[in-house]
Amino acid sequence: MKNRLSAYLLCGFFMVMLFGTANAQTKKKQTTEAKIDAIIKELTLEEKIDMLHANGIFSSAGVERLGIPELMTDDGPLGVREDVKPGWGSANLTTDSATFFPNGSALAATWNPELAYRYGHDMGEEARARKKYIMLAPAFNIARTPLCGRTYEYYSEDPFLNARLAVQSVKGIQSQHIAACVKHFAANNQEVERDRISVDVDERALREIYLPAFKAAITEGNAWTIMSAYNKLRGVYCSENDYLLNKILKGEWKFKGVVISDWGGTHSTVNAANHGLDLEMGSPLPYNTYYFADKLLDSVKAGKVTVKVIDDKVRRILWVMYHTSLSDNPPAGKMNTPEHSKTVYDIASESIVLLKNARHLLPLNTSSIKSIAVIGDNATRTFHLGGFGAGVKAKYEVTALVGLRKRLANEIKMYYAQGYSGVYRPLRRDAGKTTKADSAMLQQAIFTAKSSDMAILFIGGNRDYESESRDRKDLSLPFGEQALVDAVTAANPKTIVVVVGGAPYDIGKIKKNNQTIVWSWYNGSENGNALADVLTGKVNPSGKLPFTFPADLKDSPAHALDAYPGENLKVDYKEGILVGYRWFDTKKIEPLYCFGYGLSYTDYQYSGLKTSKKSYQPSDNIAITVKVKNTGKYAGKETVQLYVSKEKSVVDRAEKELKAFKKVMIAPGETIDVRLSIPVKDLAYYDVKTSKWVVEPGTYKLLAGTSSRDIKETATIIVN
């Protein structure tokens, strides 16, 4: 009786909580809308127009007399950028050093959405402390070509992995009442001619490959702002693309927030205003010459843009402000906390990919090693600055050499040789020329390698070599690094090659010569600590490649079809939906390393893939379990990847597509039931004839694997 009574009381309490909260929320919505209406009534047309264009590199005007603050934005995505002065030079403040977070492809290599949330959350906290209410992040254009200069900022070649990470990054940032600005909308997949090129992509590929992460970030992540891309889509600049901005984003996806132009990416007044752009950003002075400044005022006066259109933009900006700078009970901002460092460390240590463990050199057997030659410019180089927009003035950054010394200097002697010079001064659009091998540095490296028990060689790219506004010319290792690898491995066969980069490189010769290869990234403030812990075995590597490494650039779809970088300022995405592994698998081309690949210090055994039932309706969820056993000596994290394939289909299909994944920690000897779920509606293709997503009835194969090419268990289901 007593129990029953307390159950009723508890239930009543929850009802009050629920309806009370719902009422409060509706009320809050009403008052916010009423406030916005009242403000719009008060504003003069001139004041409204002032709110719609930049008045500083990262700001647009407020209206002081009505208590409307300036709108403050900042880059992203590797952390909150330092303050700059007109001309983009550093403002030389002493208060804007920030946490440097691992780059986008590093985050993607963790295959861990929880880490994406923590990344967003912590960066949001720092943005709040710096009073930057819109973070120009995350960035997640699809890796269509491995050459794209911003591959390192972006996540993946796969729309599903992309979307899962994008949603959590957005939620994390916005949990701090800071708006995420997801970028670059859309099809900004190369930097060559990025501000003039027109992308021709078929509708199915647009919907299935290039838009899903944006759609998920808006409809699930609820992102409050979005950045239009520099390029044109089907002949029309993205910043004035009615189809993208009005029809899809604001129409189909019901986006309530602000469309912000990329910096200097606006090209008209009337078209941009009427076709969905809300805010014009850029840096050249004077601001009154902007398309959304005096010219917009004239266009309204001439009746070419209505006041209703202007009011809608102002409403959107105020709506974002009420979620951010003017929000109720905002959380306290924090900079450079130990928690932020821990997030960086966790991302970095889960992102590192073990590509090859030849002769089982890893984890380092520290008791049998007396000396290590640490060779290579990337062992001492920092990665927080560079690459244009995505630079962060890091409060600190632990380099690889410092990380290794901290862990090992007491037991092991460490000798450093630079090996090569990583200085890179690009000529605009001429990203192929790097310094050659330097014979004095080479000799010193050989000597150091010979006189040590083993060598750890750091090569790869850097933040000058991989950059916004240009693509790489090819995949070859820069700075004469191949010659260095050849010389050092000949001098000491016990060499571990650590490649640092944010995009695929040609490491085919190193693989063929059976070297131990570790892939690392621009891994944030904790780079060296995480790397040292992976090499010494404190952390078992669990990173998996978020994109395919081609054996030859010509194998990559855009290059195989001669569909990059385009001709006469047009690029035709001839490969359609066959991007990344979808192409390699369907065309049966062996890559150097496949999508989803990554080794561990332990082994995992898969068994017993089961689905909840055999046949499903389109509205069902497919519940899947698979047993994974850790058969080795080390505890480890495994990412179970679930691909789906449909052999007979009314449309062309990729051989398989990622539809679910889960990362789990498994103790040595332990077996875990890994549960995954796929909504049947996610099996749909985009039907261009009806402009609808269609779930095709029939048999589907589910493939569970440790990478896209190492499938361990399969099952079939039927969709009715």
* Residues labelled catalytic: 262
Measured from the Cβ of residue 12, the count of other Cβ atoms closer than 10 Å reads 10
Interface pattern 298-337 for ligand BGC (x via CB under 6 A):
----------------------------------------
Output phi, psi for 482, to 5 deg.
Answer: -60, -40
Question: What is Dmax (Cα atoms) for the chain?
Answer: 88
Residue closer to ligand BGC, measured from CB, 132 or 712: 132
- Token representation of residue 273: 């205003």
- Token representation of residue 647: 């052999």
Residue closer to ligand BGC, measured from CB, 263 or 685: 263
Residue closer to ligand BGC, measured from CB, 185 or 573: 185
Give the nearest distance from C-beta 75 to ligand BGC in angstroms.
Answer: 5
Residue closer to ligand BGC, measured from CB, 467 or 515: 467
Strands of 516-520's sheet in order across: 353-356, 516-520, 495-500, 454-460, 371-375, 413-417
Residue closer to ligand BGC, measured from CB, 157 or 468: 468
Render 243-293 in DSSP notation, one character per residue.
Answer: IIIIIIIIIIS---SEEEE-TT----SHHHHHTT--BB---SSPGGGSTTT
629's enclosing H/E stretch is strand 621-630
Residue closer to ligand BGC, measured from CB, 346 or 468: 468
- Going by C-alpha positions, the residue among 193, 298, 199, 207 that lies closest to residue 241 is 199
Give the nearest distance from C-beta 179 to ligand BGC in angstroms.
Answer: 13
Does the protein bind ligand BGC through residue 389 (CB under 6 A)?
Answer: yes
Residue closer to ligand BGC, measured from CB, 74 or 713: 74
Give the nearest distance from C-beta 468 to ligand BGC in angstroms.
Answer: 6
Whole-angstrom distance, CA of residue 517 vs CA of residue 499:
7
Whole-angstrom distance, CA of residue 195 vs CA of residue 237:
9
Provide the CA 672 distance to its chain's centre, in angstroms: 29
Give the nearest distance from C-beta 517 to ligand BGC in angstroms.
Answer: 31
Does the protein bind ligand BGC through residue 96 (CB under 6 A)?
Answer: no
Provide the CA 505 distance to its chain's centre, in angstroms: 18
- Token representation of residue 224: 């409050």
Give the nearest distance from C-beta 674 to ligand BGC in angstroms.
Answer: 37
Interface pattern 204-243 for ligand BGC (x via CB under 6 A):
----------------------------------------
Whole-angstrom distance, CA of residue 487 vs CA of residue 116:
39
Residues 540-579 that bind ligand BGC (CB under 6 A): none
Give the nearest distance from C-beta 389 to ligand BGC in angstroms.
Answer: 4
Query: Which one among 50, 70, 75, 585 touches ligand BGC, defined by CB under 6 A?
Result: 75
Residue closer to ligand BGC, measured from CB, 151 or 706: 151
Query: Which one among 68, 136, 305, 314 touches ligand BGC, defined by CB under 6 A?
Result: 136
Q: Can you name the residues that pair with 562 across neighbouring β-strands? A: none
Residues 10-49 that bind ligand BGC (CB under 6 A): none
Give the nearest distance from C-beta 134 to ligand BGC in angstroms.
Answer: 10
Query: Which one among 133, 160, 214, 263 touches ligand BGC, defined by CB under 6 A?
Result: 263
Query: Which one among 47, 70, 82, 262 touches ligand BGC, defined by CB under 6 A?
Result: 262
What is the sign of the dihedral through the CA atoms of 326, 276, 243 and 267? negative
Name the residue whose CB lies closest to ligand BGC. Answer: 389
Considering only CA atoms, give the Rg of the chain: 26
Residue closer to ligand BGC, measured from CB, 169 or 645: 169
Residues 454-513 that bind ligand BGC (CB under 6 A): 468
Q: Are 182 and 217 in contact (CB under 8 A)?
A: yes
Give the nearest distance from C-beta 108 to ligand BGC in angstroms.
Answer: 17
Residue closer to ligand BGC, measured from CB, 199 or 578: 199
The one-letter amino acid at 521 = W
Provide the angle, in degrees to the nearest 10, between the axes of the packed helices 294-301 and 307-323. Answer: 130
Measured from the Cβ of residue 549, the count of other Cβ atoms closer than 10 Å reads 23
Does the protein bind ligand BGC through residue 104 (CB under 6 A)?
Answer: no
Give the nearest distance from C-beta 88 to ligand BGC in angstroms.
Answer: 8
Residues 673-692 that bind ligand BGC (CB under 6 A): none
Contacts of 271 (CB under 8 A, 6+ apart): 240
Contacts of 359 (CB under 8 A, 6+ apart): 494, 514, 516
Interface pattern 637-676 for ligand BGC (x via CB under 6 A):
----------------------------------------
Residues 268-287 that bind ligand BGC (CB under 6 A): none
Whole-angstrom distance, CA of residue 311 vs CA of residue 37:
9
- CA end-to-end distance (rounded Å), the chain: 48
User: How buried is residue 485: exposed, middle or buried, by Cβ count under 10 Å (0-12/13-18/19+)?
Assistant: buried
Give the nearest distance from C-beta 154 to ligand BGC in angstroms.
Answer: 11
- Tell me, what DSSP letter sits at residue 417? E
Whole-angstrom distance, CA of residue 98 vs CA of residue 91:
14
- Token representation of residue 593: 């390393």
Provide the CA 447 distance to its chain's centre, in angstroms: 40
Give the nearest distance from C-beta 83 to ligand BGC in angstroms.
Answer: 13
Q: Tell me the number of residues near ligand BGC by CB under 6 A.
A: 8
Give the nearest distance from C-beta 188 to ligand BGC in angstroms.
Answer: 8
Residue closer to ligand BGC, measured from CB, 392 or 446: 392
Residue closer to ligand BGC, measured from CB, 388 or 634: 388
Residues 165-184 that bind ligand BGC (CB under 6 A): 183
371's enclosing H/E stretch is strand 371-375
Characterize the bridge pairing of strands 59-60 and 236-237: unpaired
Interface pattern 415-444 for ligand BGC (x via CB under 6 A):
------------------------------
Residue closer to ligand BGC, measured from CB, 319 or 388: 388
Give the nearest distance from C-beta 57 to ligand BGC in angstroms.
Answer: 8
Long-range CB pairs of 686-690 (<8 Å, 24+ gap) are 686/203, 686/204, 686/207, 686/208, 687/651, 688/202, 688/203, 688/204
Measured from the Cβ of residue 114, the count of other Cβ atoms closer than 10 Å reads 12
Residues 691-710 that bind ligand BGC (CB under 6 A): none
Q: How many CA atoms are closer than 13 Å to the CA of 310, on its beta-carbon side? A: 28
Whole-angstrom distance, CA of residue 168 vs CA of residue 440:
48
Residues that bind ligand BGC (CB under 6 A): 75, 136, 183, 262-263, 388-389, 468
